[in-house]
Amino acid sequence: MTVQHRWAGEREQLDLFRALPGDLAPRDAQDLMAYPFFALAKSKRVRPIEYRTGAVAIRVEAVPDHGMATIWDADVLIWAASQIVEARDTGLKTSRLMAATPYEILTFVGRGTGARDYDRLKAALDRLQSTTVLTSIRQPAERRRHRFSWINEWKETADANGRPLGLELILPDWFYAGVLDDALVLTIDRAYFDLKGGLERWLYRIVRKHGGRQAGGWSFDFLHLHAKSGSLSPLKHFAYDVREIVRRQTLPGYRLVIERGPRGAERLVFTPILRDPSVMTLHQAARPGDKL
């Protein structure tokens, strides 16, 4: 079956969900925050990510033409999750088939809207579609695996006169099911999109997922953090970069501290910076279905 036939067949079975307008709170899928699914550098990565701990197994593969989807590409999935949760919470019907303009996606994730930004968005969609994931997460039996791409298909749309209308994309079942389960979605700080470094962005997602907004916070030793990142950087360089992030204190909403154990092993400790609820911004305020 050709790609065109697969697209047509799947599209016919799905209702089209049109992106909601307005200032939506950004939401992220907890599975994507907790495990290594994306390249942390903008340079092309083709070496697979392999991760296993307990019953959790993950293998992420890329194709040489496009390279692996990056943590910046994952902004598209944050946009999609935010749309789905907002629609669900307001009683609207959601769908894996989504339509939007590039402008709507780019402005939501804090990007520019020039021709170069549009081209970069399309390159991100290509990487999301061509990157494949094989995982045991949320499978009914330990030996079961689910293989998918972050986007099943995507295409540009136009009117009868050939004028561009926007984009349509189909999300995979695995991602969509996780987003619809509100226990698997967290609201994130909009300042996340301002973080420039891939490791910085990944670390925020780990901290937000595990530290949450609990006063006691959470901690990880550096060796565990390095494994969870899927980074190609050696542990020594990874540890240096984490120390620099701690020194700069750039993660929105969290205070980071490095502690040393009796044998000198480093441990990252993170605690939320508690804010007065009366002065919370729109994006910091809790919404129906949001998890603390």
pLDDT single digits (tens) 116-162: 999 999 999 999 999 999 999 988 766 688 999 999 999 999 888 87
Instruction: Please give the structure tokens belonging to residue 199.
Output: 């490791």
- Confidence bin at 274 (pLDDT 50/70/90): confident
Domain boundaries, the chain: 3-187, 192-279
CB contact at 8 A, 36 and 45? no
Quote the CA–CA distance of 93 and 84 in Å, as a whole number.
Answer: 9
Q: What is the mean pLDDT of residues 189-209?
A: 97
Instruction: Give pTM, 2 decimals.
Output: 0.89
Give the neighbor-by-neighbor strand order of the sheet with 218-221. Answer: 218-221, 266-272, 254-260
Quote the CA–CA distance of 249 and 6 in Å, as a whole number.
Answer: 47
Q: Of 32 and 280, which is predicted with more confidence?
A: 32
Q: What is the mean pLDDT of residues 6-29?
A: 85
Tell me which DSSP letter residue 39 carries.
B
Quote the CA–CA distance of 34 and 56 in Å, as a whole number.
Answer: 11
Burial of 279 (0-12, 13-18, 19+ CB in 10 A): exposed
pLDDT of residue 205: 97
pLDDT tens-digit profile of 205-264? Answer: 999 999 876 667 789 999 999 999 999 999 999 999 999 999 999 999 999 999 998 788
Quote the CA–CA distance of 191 and 200 in Å, as a whole number.
Answer: 12
Quote the CA–CA distance of 185 and 140 in Å, as a whole number.
Answer: 20
Q: What is the mean pLDDT of residues 23-51?
A: 97
Average pLDDT of the chain, as a whole number: 89
Closest listed residue to residue 19, CA positions, set 93, 77, 101: 101
Is 192-279 assigned to CATH 1.10.1060?
no
pLDDT cut 90: percent of the chain above it: 76
pLDDT at 182 over 70: yes
CB contact at 8 A, 88 and 94? yes
- Torsion sign, CA atoms 204, 210, 216, 218: negative
What are the CA-CA distances from residue 75 to residues 11, 110, 179, 256 (Å)? Answer: 23, 10, 14, 24
Q: What is the mean pLDDT of residues 175-201?
A: 94
pLDDT of residue 282: 34
